[in-house]
Structure 1
């Protein structure tokens, strides 16, 4: 694929110069996403950015590179296969960041941080023995690059780590991986459930009343996509005790509406989609590496499978 004219949806020229010191070898055009015109798209071989412009048309470009790991906003546009357009996504330190996010909340729970903080405020000296990660069974939904990195972190501490994926294909760092259609066979073993799932037609509201009803007083962390969870079903699961704690970095509507009952629940922690914030420099480096791979006819580890949706 010959890529010469590159349209960047954002005024990032200074940052790009670090990775493309000889920028004259390519033609770059840096524009705010709202300022991109049909003429700019006609000119471009490649479109690069966090989101498509309002007038985006697949028929005008050969390649789209998303600065995000998730590509739902691009996949909402129809016609990728018909127009033979390549879509790639950013893969960088997301797995590491999400792993540390999840680890922090499990330790907060297992070490009784909140309870001891409350006791300190009450000037009470009451001992309670913290739990160990080696005694915890963690079920991770999604066994891609991010899920594997999360599994790697917890298996290091001796946790039992079970993966759930569409295929059930075995991968490193998991004690075992089961296909999604067999999840009922292991869901009752979980102490904690972590979802790293992307949003696809198969994962939309996957966490529903039926699935939550099979859980037995588990902790639930969602660092994937908010729409994979039926929030009414989640609230019912919290009320019934099927879930004792929910850590939500993503929700169905972002920002979470002010009238949502999730805000004020003591058994819910809300964070504003920060478990894997895209660092622009990392995103540009990933783009640079992807461009080199395309021009060298090398395999791409970050190309999007349109059938899977990621």
Structure 2
């Protein structure tokens, strides 16, 4: 791949300072996304940024790298197959971050935080023993790098960890991995369900009424993509006690509209897509490491597979 001119969409020059010496053989152009012109895109061999310029076409460049882990905003561009342009995404410690996010809510649930807060307000001294992590079963939808990191941490804490994936192939740190169509027994036995799934044609509304009906008063946590959950089906599952509480960090429309009735439900916890925020320093490092691997003709772990959608 011929790489000489690199267009970075955004005022990120200060974040590249640690790599400017290594990148001295390249021409770097840092430009606010709204100021990017067709001439800039014709000049560039590489486009880098959190989101595509409205003028960007895959045929403009040889390689696009997104600072995000998700790539849905780039997949809306037409012409990827015709251009043969490379698309890569940022991979970082998202699994570590998501595992801590989810664990904070799991522990709060097991340690009866809400009940204890209510008792304090009423000056009630009533002991109820917390439940132990080692007695809990969690099923993680998505057994890729993120899911495996979560499974590694939770299994080390003594939890029984199951996985659901397209292939159903066993992966490290999971006691068992199944395809969705064979997973009814795993799901029914789970205390906690965590979705790390990306948004693809196969995962859209995967959490529908049929799937939620399988749950047995489970705690549901979504840190993947909002589009994988049918919210109306989730509300019904909450009403029917198939789901006893939902932690939702991602939504199809963000920010979540103020007129959504989810804001008012006591059995729903809403967070503003913060379970695994992309750190710009990590994103720049990932870009640089990807560039070096391309230079050395090495395989890329973060190359997007357009057929799979991630």
Aligned partner of residue 246 in structure 1, secondary structure: strand
Partner of 1:294: 294
Partner of 2:248: 248
Partner of 1:206: 206
Partner of 2:168: 168
Q: Shift of residue 22 of structure 1?
A: 4.4
Cα distance in structure 2, aligned partners of 1:257 and 1:170: 39
Alignment of 1:19-98 (within 5 A): 19-98=19-98
Cα distance in structure 1, aligned partners of 2:256 and 2:288: 34
RMSD, aligned CA: 0.9
Instruction: Return 5+ residue gaps in structure 2 as ranges.
Output: none
Q: Shift of residue 48 of structure 1?
A: 0.5
Instruction: Return 5+ residue gaps in structure 1 as ranges.
Output: none
Aligned partner of residue 25 in structure 1, secondary structure: coil
Partner of 1:2: 2
Q: Report if aligned partners of 1:17, 1:23 keep a CA contact under 8 Å in 2.
A: no
Partner of 1:279: 279
Report the count of equivalent residues: 310
The superposition leaves residues 212-255 of structure 1 with CA deviations (integer Å, 9 ceiling, x where unpaired) of 11111000000000010000111110011000010000012110
Partner of 2:304: 304
Q: Report if aligned partners of 2:57, 2:79 keep a CA contact under 8 Å in 1.
A: no
Q: Report if aligned partners of 1:2, 1:295 keep a CA contact under 8 Å in 2.
A: no
Aligned partner of residue 48 in structure 1, secondary structure: strand
Aligned partner of residue 194 in structure 1, secondary structure: strand
Partner of 1:12: 12
Aligned partner of residue 293 in structure 1, secondary structure: helix
Aligned partner of residue 24 in structure 2, secondary structure: helix
Alignment of 1:213-252 (within 5 A): 213-252=213-252
Cα distance in structure 1, aligned partners of 2:24 and 2:214: 59
- Of 143-152 and 17-26, the range deviating more from structure 2: 17-26
Cα distance in structure 2, aligned partners of 1:210 and 1:30: 49
Partner of 1:181: 181
Q: Shift of residue 78 of structure 1?
A: 2.5
TM-score by length of 1: 0.98
- Of 181-190 and 219-228, the range deviating more from structure 2: 181-190
Q: Shift of residue 144 of structure 1?
A: 0.8
Q: Report if aligned partners of 2:57, 2:78 keep a CA contact under 8 Å in 1.
A: no
Q: Shift of residue 161 of structure 1?
A: 0.4
Cα distance in structure 1, aligned partners of 2:170 and 2:303: 21
TM-score by length of 2: 0.98
